[in-house]
Amino acid sequence: MKSAATHLIGGMVLILAVGVCAQTPPTITIDTIEIQGLTRVGEPLIRSQLESREGEPISRRAIARDIRRLSQMGYFTNIEAHYELRVGTNVLIYKFTEEKTIGELVIVGNKKLKDRDVRSALNYQEGEPFFEEAFESERFDLLDMYKDKGFLNATVDIVVEELDNSRMRVSYLIEEGRKARVKKVKFSGNESLSNRKLRRTVKTGNGFLFISGKYKEEKFNTDLENIVGHYGDIGHLEAEIISTDFEYFKKGKRVLITINLFEGPEYTIANLDLDENFVFTDPELYQLIEVNPGDVHNKSQVAKDALAIESQYSDNGYVNARVNSLVTLDYENHTTNIIHHVVENDLKYIRELIITGNSDTKDEVARRHIVLTPGDRFDGSDLRYSVNELNRSQLFGEVRPSLEDFRPDDRFVNLLMDVDEGKTGNFNFGVGLNSDTGVGGFGELRLNNFDISNPPSFTGGGQIFTANASIGEYYTGYRIGFTDPEFMGYPFSFGVDLFDDESESRGGSEFTIKQQGARIRLGKRLSTNITVQTYFGFADVSIDNLDTFVDPKLRELEDDGTSHTWGWSFIRNTANHYLDPTDGTRFQFNNEWAGLGGDNEYVKFQTDITLYYGIKKFEKMSFLFNNRNGYAIPLGDKKFVPLSARFFAGGGSTVRGYDNRDVGPRARTFQRAFGRNFFDKEAVGGEFRILNTLEAKYKLNDIMRLYTFADGGGLWFDIDDFEIDDFKYSVGIGVGLQVPFLGPLRIDYGFPLNPDDHQGSGRLHLQSLINF
């Protein structure tokens, strides 16, 4: 649309145009009013706006007001008024020049992109005002769209034609050319960073196997910014991209991109100071800072240091604390001076916790995962923990925390938790593949936000109901479970499980264990990191397909029986993330006692500790160390812990590189058939086990992770048999995939370092769960 200023200027000119009327004798009466120049605007609409009337005297002032009023309608670029005497008739003529509009928009030559895609990139469509000067910008927008789609040599011409006095035809003549794939990205002028390091920074041109990468303008511009940023992290603060060259091959189907660089000198840090920090002393804050005087200036790390200082304040209630890093360059000496200027602001307390977006889930269900409560001093670490807990609950798709100032009292803020409801229920079925347990199909109904007291929807209570069935080559099981994280409003969890399992061993043992039973669970969270649990269980255990042990003493292991168990566990979890932790530990201690009138009698102790460690300079790299220990003791008249409760080792979840259950003691068995005895050896498990794992993980992206690991472990029939020389060791590599809509996949290959003669030279371990 034309600006109001344009109409105002036109109005001033047009008022002068009716000066003739001012000289007309006032006794002249208007016989006829004639409207000229209209094509788009209706004449009745114009006449309804006129103050001048037929049969009334001509008035210069009325005509001026008519022109001003009609100009404000926005339909015209020019309005003129004049008087004529025609054969004794006084005629007042209004002549209009209408705004030009786009009467027709034509797109020609687009074959790869649809008309609607091209039109979506245009700001001006049919029926809208026509401004010739705007169409050069339209042309560049179309070229940018084609570049983003990989058509680097596309051209666009614009042809404008007049349809009538007020309507224009605008034609876009497109020559798409060939879609260019990036053959290679080269660099020129780089010395401090090798081509190899720069290519790691650049995403453009990263194809797959023998397929060249696509070119996208937005991605390429981001690559250029990342290159300059990379140089800033190694002290080259004056680095810049001088130019980029595109060289086409194979008739425009391939493009070679050359990035021309100016690196500039390397800067080191001369001085580093803190300013306006009163709550924390300089030594306390210096401990958080990674770059120091004498170091090469690292632009990203300086920013991270400022964020670390802000987090220190936020974790102690100073919500609005800000750190501005002021960097000055000494161009002569190639050094920098850094001042972290701290604006502390006031200590804040939480006045109100407000949850929004939870259309199904009750407020109290969400609140149980949030450790911050009204009246608490704000704590940034507690907020991060709360968001992590809400994500881990699987009740919500996304959690967006924010703070709102409480105006009546500036000591307080409101904590806002805006959430998206997650899937309240899932029904999954598919195929599971595990190198230890074989191939199988599964079906599962899981309700993560179940509410047994809210029929008929049964949603919103944060309870968990599961029913699943697995039918496979070596394992068949049916399970139903119910968990209420806050049973009847009390701060402890309650759960019930029913199960019917049949598991066939493979590898070092080949017998089948069947278990049917139930378990009741209770749990209590003592703090944000500590949970205690207890359970009471009953199981009817039977063993099939087990050959007879040659040693009569071991034949006790062949017995069926019932297990009445009571157990408890202590869990402390300080991991900083539930999927990809890079800091913290997870420790669990379990104790189980079997007796209470059952056939099996034993006591069992287990510990499981995992330490997580991430490398700050390599955020995608992290390590974990895991140690698991188990010790079981027979009770009563039993000489041995039953097979269903013994420990085993070897396989994908214990010591990789070895076959399933192939590490540890084996006992000689026999089976009589065809009038003779056939002998074999069977893994009988142990009453004492130690397992250790050291694993490095590199997170390529949200879907793929690479692993390398070292496992070591041992299993002994009882603790008196312990010998350090019995440990088995392995190393290996692995890859993990989290495929959207399908499920997780983990593939490891382990190489045993000290196998026995029967244990082979390596083994592939595969775990997958594919949802349909």
Domain 268-343, CATH among 3.40.50.2300, 3.20.20.70, 1.10.3720.10, 3.10.20.310: 3.10.20.310
Q: How confident is the model over 474-485, as pLDDT tens digits? A: 778 899 999 998
What pLDDT was estimated at residue 199?
87
DSSP, residue by residue, 202-219? --TT--BTTBPEEP-HHH
pLDDT score, position 94: 93
SS3 16: helix
Q: Tell me the C-alpha distance between 469 and 460, whole Å.
A: 25
565 forms beta bridges with 537, 594
**Distance in angstroms (rounded) separating the CA atoms of residues 580 and 588:** 19
pLDDT, tens digit (0-9, with 9 covering 90-100), for 670-728: 777 776 777 778 888 899 999 999 999 998 888 889 999 999 999 999 999 999 999 99
User: Which parts of the chain have pLDDT scores under 50?
Assistant: 1-25, 207-211, 771-772
Q: Which CATH superfamily is domain 101-175 in?
A: membrane protein fhac (3.10.20.310)
CATH fold of the domain at 349-421: Ubiquitin-like (UB roll) (3.10.20)
- Given a contact cutoff of 8 angstroms between Cβ atoms, the answer to whether 119 and 107 are in contact is yes
What confidence score (pLDDT) does residue 440 get? 64
549-578 per-position pLDDT tens digit: 767 777 788 788 899 999 999 999 999 887
pLDDT of residue 484: 92
**CA–CA separation, 329 and 336 (whole Å):** 5
pLDDT of residue 330: 95
Element (H, E) at 135: helix 135-148
User: Which CATH fold topology does 4-98 show?
Assistant: Ubiquitin-like (UB roll) (3.10.20)
Strands of 11-125 (E only): list them.
32-36, 76-86, 89-98, 101-108
Fold adopted by 505-771 = Porin (2.40.160)
Domain spans in the chain, listed from the N-terminal domain onward: 4-98, 101-175, 181-262, 268-343, 349-421, 428-503, 505-771
Amino acid at the residue 339: I
Does residue 545 sit in helix, strand or coil? Answer: coil
Rg of the chain over all Cα atoms, to the nearest angstrom: 39
What is the Cα–Cα distance from 405 to 421, expressed in whole angstroms? 26
User: Exposed, middle or buried, 257 (CB in 10 Å: 0-12/13-18/19+)?
Assistant: buried
Q: What is the CATH topology of the domain spanning 181-262? A: Ubiquitin-like (UB roll) (3.10.20)
Confidence (pLDDT) at 207: 47
Contacts 24+ apart (CB under 8 A), 536-539: 536/565, 536/566, 537/563, 537/564, 537/565, 537/566, 537/567, 538/562, 538/563, 538/564, 538/565, 538/598, 539/515, 539/563, 539/565, 539/644
pLDDT of residue 768: 64
Q: Do domains 4-98 and 101-175 have the same CATH topology?
A: yes
Q: Inter-axis angle of helices 4-17 and 60-71, to 10 degrees? A: 160
pLDDT of residue 209: 38
Position 5 scores a pLDDT of 35
